[in-house]
Amino acid sequence: MIIDRLENIERYYQMLPGLSDAFRFFLCHRDDVPGRYTEGENIAIVQKNRLSDLSGSPFEAHRKYIDLQIVLEGSEGIGWSSASDQQASAEYDDEKDVWFFNGNSLDMEIPAGVFYICFPWDGHHCNGIAGQFSECRKVCVKIPFKGADV
């Protein structure tokens, strides 16, 4: 997982192929109403989420996509855990590119203006209560994963 301020995202372009295209796609849709936007392989999900308690909520991980998540308004509580250290609570859903598992997490708060990147080996749960905020607005851009199977 990578977490950094949005102003630093260009530092990661050479490290992660597809990130610059994903960021350009984000810029095209950051002000759109909540919904799913696609163009070719590009997928952006604009969200305005009501936040909730993360305790007991399952982690998710993906095989086909890397998540670029950018918090625009409010703040979001997230949890991270290495997917390889956990026991799946459901079979992998190839159509939705997601599998769920339970386990312990490293919890953190992601404020507006910060992005985080979840790789296929990063289990994560999102939309947690963070500080005084009960909602957050964010965009998740899916970056096709071209690496080895996880």
Residue 133: CATH number of its domain: 2.60.120.370
Helix H or strand E segment including 22: helix 19-29
Which of the two residues, 129 and 6, has the higher pLDDT score?
A: 6
Residue 111: C-alpha distances to residues 5, 12, 75, 116 (Å): 9, 20, 4, 11
The count of domains in the chain is 1
Helix H or strand E segment including 20: helix 19-29
Domain membership flag for residue 96 = yes
pTM, full prediction: 0.90
pLDDT in the model for residue 149: 60
CB atoms within 10 A of CB 53: 9
Domain membership flag for residue 110 = yes
Residue at token pair 């994903």: 22
- On whether the CB atoms of residues 139 and 29 are closer than 8 A, the answer is yes
Range of the domain at 113: 2-144
pLDDT in the model for residue 58: 85
pLDDT at 150 over 70: no
Domain membership flag for residue 44 = yes
pLDDT tier at 148, thresholds 50, 70, 90:
low
Q: What is the number of helices (H) and of strands (E) in the chain?
A: 1, 11
Rounded Cα–Cα distance for residues 32 and 28 (Å): 8
CB atoms within 10 A of CB 19: 21
Domain membership flag for residue 149 = no
Cβ neighbours for 58, distance < 8 A, ≥ 6 positions apart: 89, 100, 101, 102, 125
Q: Tell me: the pLDDT tens digits for 3-41?
A: 999 999 999 999 998 999 999 999 999 999 999 999 988
Domain membership flag for residue 117 = yes
Domain membership flag for residue 41 = yes
Rounded Cα–Cα distance for residues 59 and 47 (Å): 19
Rounded Cα–Cα distance for residues 148 and 94 (Å): 16
Domain membership flag for residue 89 = yes
pLDDT in the model for residue 56: 75
Domain membership flag for residue 50 = yes
Q: Tell me: the pLDDT tens digits for 60-119?
A: 899 999 999 999 999 999 999 888 877 778 888 999 999 898 878 889 999 999 999 999
